[in-house]
Each structure stands twice: as structure tokens, then as C-alpha cells.
Structure 1
């Protein structure tokens, strides 16, 4: 006959089981949140400061206007073309593994950007940086959602969003002050600062956070990703070369090639068993309308972030610090309104 203590030991488990909707013990979840905030800061700080630093990079490297555009375009191109594949990688290999790989590639490319000797090398490293971001950006929010149970998830995502908004708001001001104080050559520090943030994030993920199991063995649709990259790259090159001296004759053929590749991409995706994007979603009016509106929104916003700093610095003679403070109201309003607007959209 067993003693009461033995019966009690069986009745009360020594280790509290995890909720079904999380892979991470409660004591480790804060490390997931800190790592995700630091990783998000890499992209947000990098992007917001780079908008102010673009004129300095152009002067320091002697870049043409077209090359200056590609320093920004190369990153956006690979990020946008591969972000869906990056999200699928988290499902296939586990979010922690994919997230760490994305951060590692991003900071390695950032260091290469920091020592780039000329515009072509910087453009190439920026493209690699975009590949890392395509894995890192979707992984940041996804690992928070998977680590926290449903009742705690909203608060964790709110903290992440607030921290991301703060880094976005402060980026242009800090970048402008640093550039004004130390000169154009200091732009390289913008990329080098990603190293400590990224290493701390990787350490927390590997040392403090348990590995999560892959959710599904879905294919990565690398063929679709390659076609999307080539199509968008050809279109971007054609549009950029319109204003480039001596390259205008390539504009028409490049745009035509991009349009053909885009059609090939659509046909390819429709025949895939597991496509990168389900094209039937665009038959839903709300989905298609939201994507069209988002396209024009970011088209206008990106143009302002790229051209306005160069106009204000090169045309109006303002300092980088002054330009940073000019951008501050925009950044602060975006930071303050992101949360409430999301809640309003849920109600609508």
C-alpha cells in the first residue's frame, strides 16, 4: 500500500505543463520579447537613419543619383520579394532557428555595408541585408505570438509595437545629430551599430529561449521568389535608368522585361501546389483594395523619405540635424497613432 505522500506526489505534477498555445515557459518569455524588440530595432533604426544619411553617403562615396537610389532600392527589392518565403521558413524550420539565421545574416551584411569601399559594393551588401530582413522581420512578431499564450499575447505585442515606434521616431533625430557633429564619413557607424544589438538578440534566443517545433513542412517556393526578384528588379532598374545619364536607352527594354517576368511569375504561382502567395485572394475586393491603397501609400511615403532629405540638405543647405528634427513630427505621429488606428480598424 502506497503512503499518502507518494499518492500526493503523483497527483500534483512537479512541473506545471505549458499551455497548448505556447512553446515557451513563463520565466523565459521576457527574453523572447527583448530579443524581438532588439531585432526589430535593427531594421527600424537602420531604415529611419538611412533616410537622413543618404546625402552624406552620396557625397562620401561619390555616388551618382542612380546609384544612390539603388542603395535604398536593393534592400527594399530583396525584402519585398522574399518576405513571404522568410515567413514560410519559420514554419518549416522553426521560428527560433529561422529568426536567428535572419538576424545573423542581417548583421553580417551590415558590417559589410559599413566597410563598403564604393557604391556597387554597398548596393550588393544592401541586397544581402534585405534577404536577412526578409527572414527577420516576419519572425519578430511571429515568435512573440507563438511564445505567449493567447491571454498574454496582446500585451506583449503592444509592448513590442510601442518599442518599435519609439526607435522609428528617434532614429532620424539621433542620426541627424551624429552626422552633423562628426561629419559625412560617420554614416558607416549607422551600419556598424547593428552588430551589438544583433549579437545580444542572438544570445538571448540561443541561451534563454527553447527551440520551437516546426509547424508544417511546407515548401519555400524558391522558384517564385527568384521570378519575383527578377521581375521587380527589372522594373526598378527600368524606372531608375530613366533619370540616369547615359542609361536612358535601357529603360524601355528593362520595363518590358520586368512586365514579361511578372506575367511568368503569375502563371508560375497559379500552377504551384504551395505558392508563395495565393493569387485567388486578390479576387476578394477588400483584400485587393487594401493592397492597392497600401501600394500608393508607401509609394508616396518612400519618395518623401528618399528625396526630401537630399532636397533639404543639398538644395536648402540645412544640416542633417535640422532635417532629423523636421522629420520628427511625422515619426512621432506615426508612433502615437499606430496603436489606436489598429484598434479603430478592428472595430470597422
Structure 2
């Protein structure tokens, strides 16, 4: 079936609606599952491929780098060439790249395949939500997004556990993490071909912003390469030049966006003090998340002696707390304003991260890990829904979609920089994986740095965010329940996500 089953779009409770929803859930869930399990697999990847800490940084950042640079372009391609077509292409590409990851004989090829996975994710991720908005009738769109987000939350929750089980099966078990994507991709493509109608934006005008995408991707790549390799290689002149070239290319990106009549990132959005402030808070908080949760699974397995399954399950309370409390925090922010939740939430999350200094050799989960994770989860839950609502409310209604995408890009860029820079700031060398005492000392420094970033985000919110920003906005509490928890999209490698699903629910509700 390739046509809507009702005038104006698919009905959610029909067979066609359920199959279309399944295709988008499995597509985005495949990427979410892959992203969440890779962190758990890092120690085994390092041991099997003789990879140091720098190579593990690139195993994560190779994916996030291409995803961040091409995400907006992927959405534009779907609007112009067909959302189902680009979504299916992304799924197929993701499966092929996953097979390449599983077969990688060395870490260099693995990093390359991860970069190709990021390109594929940039094609399929925007399409997943765009399909829901385009194919369902207006009265069912918000419910479809809510169901997508809730079901996707299951993938986020079970991902680390599944990853731990697969990784623990054998020294090569981490390869099963990537092979798992192949049958999922086959199901997604078959279901999408039969049940998802093709849609495109017939009014999409202007040329694709290929120069902007190129400047962003290459500029970020050069900068991240310099920041990752510089501390290890003692900053030779070639890396200084590479880093400077990356900065210049990012400046060229900004100039390009300012001059283009149809930019993929309108700089006019940042004229809003609230939008700029909320994105700066996003940058600080998500840098803290990505940095801390890059190193935590490594610390738990190599220093504390956790099994991959135990390490992968250690953050489940974050997902549970956010699923239970995110909607309530959204309603609270609507009632009292976002300023105080956005102030105390990051501060509390920072305290939780600081409590991870108690995790060391022989630490138990109940005594050392769980208390820190619970405090962090409560703080993060207080932060995400108000932050989401503030970003959306601070943007003009006609630009709410691109505002959400910009916030997503800010969060991912923060994660890129954190994974690149944090190990050097914490005193971790590439050889730290072979020296548990040095790894543990560096981890303790790292979580204190990330705690300071989170607390700084809260203090910034207290100084800049206005409670009036939500006045007259659609009910953020309602939309928070639909999409502001970790299910939103595949993480950078943090357990939470930026705001795209919330934006979609808000637009569907407004219509």
C-alpha cells in the first residue's frame, strides 16, 4: 500500500498507520541501538584491535562528525527528492556501513566505516520524523510522534544491555553489535516500501546549501582532528595549521549562511537573546554529558571490574527517571517559567557527575554508581523539557523546525568537542587503557570537569533565561511527554537527545 488510507493522510489506528509507524520506529531505533551499544563495546574494541584511547575517541567522533555536518543537508534532500526515498537510502547505507564496521580488521577501517554510518544517519534520521509529519492526518500527528518517541525509548533503554550481552559473548562479540543492524535494516526497507507513502515538499525552493554543508563538515573535521591529535603529538606545526584552517572554514560557514537567501542555518535566529542563551546552555550541558559518558563505561569495565552487561545497565535509571518525570517537569516549567528548572537542573546534574569520583577499583554499583546516577537523572530531567520548550518558544513559529535542528547541531558539536578535548584536559594519555590507576585518576579529573560545565550551564540559565519566554506558547508540558526524553534520536554518545521530536509534536499540535 502506497497511498494514504484516509483523506489528508494515514490514520494511526489503521493497519497502514501502524506499519508506517513501525518503519520509522525501527529505522531510528536501529541507529539509536547502535549508538548506545558502541560505548559499552569500547574496551573490547580497544583490546581486540590494539587501539589506544585516541582511537576510541575517533570511533565515537567519526560517526558524530559526519552526522553533525550533514544532518541539515539530509533533511533538505528528503524534502526535495522524497522523504521515503532518502530515508530508505539512509537505512540501506547504514546497513552496509555496519557490515563494514563488523568486518573491520583494524581500528583505522573501523573509524572510516563509523564515519560512513554517520553519513547514513544524516539521511535517515531527519526522514524518520519528517515522514510522520507528512503521511499522518493532522489529528493523529502528535499521537504518532508520541508513540514513536515512547517506543524509541525502549531501544535507548535496552541498547546498552543488549550491547553488553553481545560484547560479552566472545572476544569478537563487539562485532555482533554492528551485525544486528542488518536484519533490522532489511525489515525497515521492506515495510517502508510497502506501507510508507512517498512525500516531498512541493514548495521547497532555492538551491541546496552544499557550500554550507561542506564548510561545516570539513571545518569541524579539521578542528576536531587537531584537538584530538594535538595533545598526543605535542602540537606540531602541521596540526596547528590544521586547527587554524578548521576555524577559518567555520568562519566561512557563518559568512555563507549570512549571505545566502536560503541558508540551512539562519543566523537571524541568534538575534533572540533567549534563543542564544538556551543554545549556550545546551552546549555546556551536552558537552558534560558526552564527555562523562564516553569515559564511564571504560572506567567501570577496566577499573571497577564490571562486566559489559553490568556497565551497559548502569545508566538505565536515567532513562527510567526521565520517562517518569519529563512530562511533569514540562508542566512545571509552563506554570512557573523555565528559569528555575533550567538553573537548578544542571546544578543538580553536575553534583551527580561530581559524585562519580567515588567510582574506582572494586566499587560496587549500589554504593558508588547508583546514587550518582540517580542525582544526575533528577537534575537532567529538570533540565531537558524546559530547555526544549525555551528553544522552541524563542524562535518565530515559521522557523521552529530549523531552530530545533540548530539546537540539535549545537548539542552534537558540544559532544564532538568534549570527546576530543576532555581526555587531554583530564591528563589521560593513549596508553591509559593499559594502566588502570592512571585511567582512574584521569576519570576522576574528567568527571569534575564535566560537573563544572553542567553547573556553569545552570548558572548561565539563571542569569539569562526569562520566565516570560513561554508566555503564550503551546503547552510544553504536553509536548514534553511526547518527546523530550532519551528516546528522541540516536545519541552522540549521551543518554539523552536534543529536541527534534518535541518540535514535531508541537507543530502537529499547532496545526
TM over 0.5: yes
Q: String of CA shifts for 1:276-335, please: whole Å, max 9, x gaps.
A: 211111111222222212222221111122111111212222221221222221232344
Distance in structure 1 (CA, Å) of the matches to 2:220 and 2:50: 26
Classify the secondary structure of the residue corresponding to 2:305: coil
1:222 to 210, 231, 238: 210
Classify the secondary structure of the residue corresponding to 1:62: coil
Residue of structure 2 equivalent to 1:131: 119
2:159 to 155, 171, 184: 171
Residue of structure 1 equivalent to 2:181: 194
Q: Which piece of structure 1 moves more, 99-108 or 32-41?
A: 99-108
Classify the secondary structure of the residue corresponding to 1:199: helix
Residue of structure 2 equivalent to 1:306: 294
| Structure 2 gap segments, 5+ residues each | 334-388, 390-473, 477-511
Scaled by the length of structure 1, the TM-score of the pair is 0.88
Change (3 A) 1:77 1:336: farther
Distance in structure 2 (CA, Å) of the matches to 1:338 and 1:86: 29
Change (3 A) 1:341 1:122: farther
Residue of structure 2 equivalent to 1:102: 90
Q: String of CA shifts for 1:122-159, please: whole Å, max 9, x gaps.
A: 11111111011011111111101111112111211111
Superposed displacement of residue 222, structure 1: 1.4
Q: How does 1:255-334 map to 2 (within 5 A)?
A: 255-334=243-322
Distance in structure 2 (CA, Å) of the matches to 1:150 and 1:167: 27
Change (3 A) 1:185 1:17: closer
Q: How does 1:174-253 map to 2 (within 5 A)?
A: 174-180=162-168, 182-218=169-205, 219-244=207-232, 246=233, 248-249=235-236, 250-253=238-241
Residue of structure 2 equivalent to 1:120: 108
Superposed displacement of residue 338, structure 1: 4.6
Which structure's relative contact order is higher, taking Cα pairs within 8 Å and 6+ residues apart?
A: 1
1:80 and 2:68 correspond: yes
Change (3 A) 1:231 1:341: farther
Distance in structure 2 (CA, Å) of the matches to 1:175 and 1:302: 18
Residue of structure 1 equivalent to 2:44: 56
Question: Contact 2:42/2:56 (CA < 8 Å) preserved in 1?
Answer: yes
Superposed displacement of residue 167, structure 1: 0.8
Change (3 A) 1:175 1:95: same
| Structure 1 gap segments, 5+ residues each | 1-14
Larger Rg: 1
Distance in structure 1 (CA, Å) of the matches to 2:230 and 2:271: 33
Distance in structure 1 (CA, Å) of the matches to 2:308 and 2:15: 43
Scaled by the length of structure 2, the TM-score of the pair is 0.61
Change (3 A) 1:298 1:184: farther
Distance in structure 2 (CA, Å) of the matches to 1:17 and 1:196: 28
Question: Contact 1:169/1:335 (CA < 8 Å) preserved in 2?
Answer: no
Superposed displacement of residue 175, structure 1: 1.4
Distance in structure 2 (CA, Å) of the matches to 1:257 and 1:17: 53
Classify the secondary structure of the residue corresponding to 1:316: coil
| Alpha-carbon RMSD | 2.2
Classify the secondary structure of the residue corresponding to 1:242: helix
Question: Contact 2:48/2:172 (CA < 8 Å) preserved in 1?
Answer: yes
Superposed displacement of residue 98, structure 1: 1.3
The number of aligned residues is: 331
